[in-house]
Structure formats: C-alpha cells, structure tokens
C-alpha cells in the first residue's frame, strides 16, 4: 500500500554537501518526492517537532544541532515508505551504522549518535504528525 513518510536532511547533511547523493539514493530506491522545503528552523520549531524528547538529557544539544543551519525536509512516497526509508538511513547512531550498516545513508554522512545527518518517521502516527507539522499554512512547501 502506498504511504508517505517524512525525511529530513539535517544541517550536517546539507553542509557536508550530501543532498544530491541522498536525493539520488531516494529516487533510485523507488521513492517519489511529493513535497520539499528548505528552511533554517528556529528553536521553537525544533523543540516542538522533537517534543517527545524534551525531557531527555540530549535535548539541548539536539536543539542546537538542528538550528545550526538549514535543513531539507521532504515527503517521500512509495509502497512501504516508512519502514523502507528507516532501513535505508540505518541505525540512529551513525558511528554504529558505519560498522553494522556500511551502505546506509547515516554511515555515509553521519558523525555520531546525535549528529546522524538524516531523519525518518518511525511509525504511521509519527509520519502523519510530522508531515502535517511542516506542510501547513506556515510552511506550505513546494511541489517539486
């Protein structure tokens, strides 16, 4: 069944010039890019997007990281998009990914547990929430 998921190329992915490699992997893996938006997020947006992590010890560094530069936010569509995009990006910890999933996107462009260069929704509920979080009247995105 066709589904949509939210992908983010995080500030380190953009500043490390990984955008075109990531886009190539996305298209070659059979996803279509339904919407996309490049934006420099402010602290309030990041805090609210990552609300479920607000009590974690790494939250301040997550907010600092995600506001450190522009991000590319995309809605990806294909059959089984949510699980397939998570598989493609690899484990959260990019250092581990380099060992256990060397062909994953995080192994390619991530640096460590925090700075892992890409995001993917982890469930149907998160995908719905995250897509509507960014693609609203305030951040309408564009049709590619």
d(CA 35, CA 52): 25
> At closest approach, how far in Å is the CB of 62 from ligand CMP?
5
Single residue of 27, 39, 87, 113 touching ligand CMP by CB under 6 A:
113
Tokens of 78: 């294909």
d(CA 125, CA 100): 28
- Please say whether the dihedral angle defined by the alpha carbons of residues 37, 38, 41 and 47, taken in this order, is positive or negative: positive
Single residue of 19, 32, 77, 92 touching ligand CMP by CB under 6 A:
92
Q: Does 94 interact with ligand CMP (rule: CB under 6 A)? A: no
119 is catalytic: yes
> At closest approach, how far in Å is the CB of 80 from ligand CMP?
19
Which of 101, 103, 119, 124 is an active site residue? 119
Tokens of 47: 């805090």
Q: Are 32 and 75 in contact (CB under 8 A)?
A: no
Single residue of 116, 130, 131, 135 touching ligand CMP by CB under 6 A:
116
Q: Does 47 interact with ligand CMP (rule: CB under 6 A)? A: no
Instruction: Give the residue numbers marked as catalytic.
Output: 119
């Amino acid at each position: 069944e066709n589904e949509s998921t939210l992908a983010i190329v995080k500030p380190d992915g953009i500043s490390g010039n990984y955008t075109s490699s990531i886009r190539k992997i996305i298209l070659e893996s059979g996803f279509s890019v339904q919407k996309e938006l490049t934006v420099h997020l402010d602290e309030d947006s990041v805090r609210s997007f990552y609300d479920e992590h607000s009590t974690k010890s790494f939250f301040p560094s997550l907010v600092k990281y995600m506001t450190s530069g522009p991000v590319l936010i995309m809605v990806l569509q294909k059959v089984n998009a949510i699980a397939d995009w998570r598989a493609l990006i690899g484990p959260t910890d990019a250092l581990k990914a380099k060992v256990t999933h060397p062909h994953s996107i995080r192994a390619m462009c991530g640096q460590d547990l925090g700075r892992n260069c890409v995001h993917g929704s982890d469930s149907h509920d998160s995908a719905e929430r995250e897509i509507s979080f960014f693609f609203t009247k305030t951040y309408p995105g564009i049709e590619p």
